[in-house]
Structure 1
Amino acid sequence: MSKRFEGKVVIVTGSSQGIGRATAVLFAREGAKVTITGRDEASLEESKKAVLAVTNSENNVNVVVSDITTSSGVDQLVNSTIDKFGKIDVLINNAGAAFTDENGKVGVEVGLESYQKTFDINVKSVIDLIQKCRSHLIASKGEVVNVSSIAGGPHANTNFAYYCMSKSALDSMTRCFAIDLINHGVRVNSVSPGIVATHFLNAMGIPDEGVKKCYKYYTEHRDIIPSGAPGKPEEIAQVIGFLADRNMSSYIVGQSIIADGGTSLIMGMNTHDLGDVCK
């Protein structure tokens, strides 16, 4: 029996851990050839091992250590994929981050440096990748799935204003690019996760013990996660796989599927101080 992504070539950004790693493993398990990428070589090696555990072939995985906030990093990623696999069928724009202010400021007081860093990874890199993959995706009548966040919705969160703004921009980009690219047979959609148990908080500088406290606190408060637990990377990967599978989701164009355990229905999370929770 053939696998649903047999013969497909997939790029997954931010695949050194978390949702990106789980997504790369899902596509590999379903028969795809996968390019994984990130800035941390050691973490990418762990992702490669996870992919090889389900595909058993070095020929099916391409590892690219690069910084996709730079034009040269994006060129390296795209060119390496074409050089090894000859085409691109699916682009998963998963890489993203939130940055805390070095001086502990929040809201309107957060410096423009944090704004620039946030938009470079969450918005600019996605534009650059879609533009540079465009001709390849048109040739394959491919798919783009952006990983956004419920933070991009209408609810305010002063602690992470720039992150929320960047994900709102990504949602708008998804809709605009979807209308442009569907004329060429390429679908663009996105998934908006809520709280997912990944290294996202660690990357913001919160130590492991603080992260554990945070997830425990969120789990105990149903006004934060009505379903009672943070999501798993594999659960978000399943949504990404659905959106990338034209047999399953062919009539979905320019949409964002929310996967958040009900969080966005209440958004009580924004009334809790994350800094106090993680102490």
Structure 2
Amino acid sequence: MSFNNKVVLVTGASSGIGAATAVLFAKEGADVVIVARNEVKLKEVEEDCTKVGKKPLVIKADVCKDDDVKRIINDTIEKFNKLDVLINNAGITRFGRILDGKITESFDELINTNLRAVVKLTTLAAPFLIKTKGNIVNVSSIAGITINTINMGGYCTTKAALSHFSRVSALELAPHGVRVNIVSPGPVYSDILENAGITTKVEDVAGKTALNNRVSEPEEIADLILFLASEKAKGITGSDYVSDNGYLLLN
């Protein structure tokens, strides 16, 4: 799959699924825009992309801030004069339950990052995607399908909302030739728990999977994102692709 002359914007690109996705698109010839808050990690991803493809456009930004979101789109268009693919990958998790009183304090933060930022970016990117007949891939989670742990109730709720917003977006943008799809990973090796200050290992949070309790590598999810963004998926929109090692079969 070649993405020569395609401009691909990836949020949450400093590590995990986002970083793997940025590198893979670079390898396939795309002009990649990498967005995240962590400047040090972004620099590492920039170097990894450059080793296999073109040097990416690096944008240090917080997708929760409207001015930053505007700058992300403006800088992308100023540099490349178009946008072909938007990968909404930035996301966070927080622990909190109703009865321990912690779910409320984390809910606004979860909503802002996992949902509102996607709505804002989609809104600003849509006119440019319509021009290129481009597409969007939103990275949700199986947590939007099932409740994997009550400690992550807020996270599960925002991911369910993200998946539903993706379907609404797909329906609205389809007449304009823009596809919108969802990738819902199961347990993946990343630093999302570490970034939340949670010391629990991903294997412990994830529970059991049908494939011998397997946890995915970020590159596996990147492969799926690449497929959905490619011409091979030109007839696919509003779909939710699960890659969970059979987690949902057992939970």
TM-score tier after normalising by the smaller chain length: over 0.9
Change (3 A) 1:117 1:264: same
Bigger CA radius of gyration: 1
The aligned counterpart of 1:236 is: 221
Give the Å deviation of 1:36.
Answer: 0.2
User: Are positions 1:258 and 2:249 aligned together?
Assistant: no
Give the one of 114, 126, 149 matched to 2:106: 114
Give the one of 20, 23, 26 matched to 2:24: 26
Q: How far apart, CA to CA, are the structure 2 residues paired with 1:218 and 1:125?
A: 25
Give the Å deviation of 1:113.
Answer: 2.7
Q: How far apart, CA to CA, are the structure 1 residues paired with 2:75 and 2:147?
A: 40
Q: How far apart, CA to CA, are the structure 2 residues paired with 1:181 and 1:42?
A: 36
Q: Which amino acid aligns with 2:159?
A: K
Contact 2:93 2:152 survives alignment (8 Å): yes
The aligned counterpart of 1:65 is: 60
Q: How far apart, CA to CA, are the structure 1 residues paired with 2:106 and 2:52?
A: 38
Give the Å deviation of 1:100.
Answer: 2.8
SS at match of 1:253: coil
SS at match of 2:176: coil
Give the Å deviation of 1:29.
Answer: 0.5
- Structure 2, unaligned runs of 5 or more: none
User: Are positions 1:52 and 2:44 aligned together?
Assistant: no
Give the one of 41, 45, 48 matched to 2:39: 41
Contact 2:149 2:205 survives alignment (8 Å): no
CA distances 1:173-194 after superposition (whole Å, capped 9, x unpaired): 0111101001100000010000
Contact 1:218 1:225 survives alignment (8 Å): no
User: Are positions 1:15 and 2:13 aligned together?
Assistant: yes
Give the one of 140, 143, 147 matched to 1:151: 143
Contact 2:187 2:244 survives alignment (8 Å): yes
Give the Å deviation of 1:111.
Answer: 4.1
Q: How far apart, CA to CA, are the structure 2 residues paired with 1:66 and 1:12?
A: 12
Q: Which amino acid aligns with 2:10?
A: V
Give the Å deviation of 1:72.
Answer: 0.6
Give the Å deviation of 1:71.
Answer: 0.4
User: Are positions 1:203 and 2:195 aligned together?
Assistant: yes
The aligned counterpart of 2:86 is: 91
CA distances 1:72-103 after superposition (whole Å, capped 9, x unpaired): 110111111111111000000000011234xx
TM-score (ref. length: structure 1):
0.85
Give the Å deviation of 1:154.
Answer: 3.9
Change (3 A) 1:114 1:218: closer
TM-score (ref. length: structure 2):
0.95
Q: Which amino acid aligns with 2:190?
A: T
Q: How far apart, CA to CA, are the structure 2 residues paired with 1:107 and 1:200?
A: 22
Q: How far apart, CA to CA, are the structure 2 residues paired with 1:227 and 1:77?
A: 39
CA distances 1:137-166 after superposition (whole Å, capped 9, x unpaired): 000000100000000014463111110000
SS at match of 1:227: coil
Give the Å deviation of 1:110.
Answer: 2.5
The aligned counterpart of 2:209 is: 225
Give the Å deviation of 1:201.
Answer: 1.4
SS at match of 2:151: helix
Q: How far apart, CA to CA, are the structure 1 residues paired with 2:11 and 2:49?
A: 14
Alignment of 1:121-200 (within 5 A): 121-155=113-147, 157-200=149-192
Change (3 A) 1:156 1:53: closer
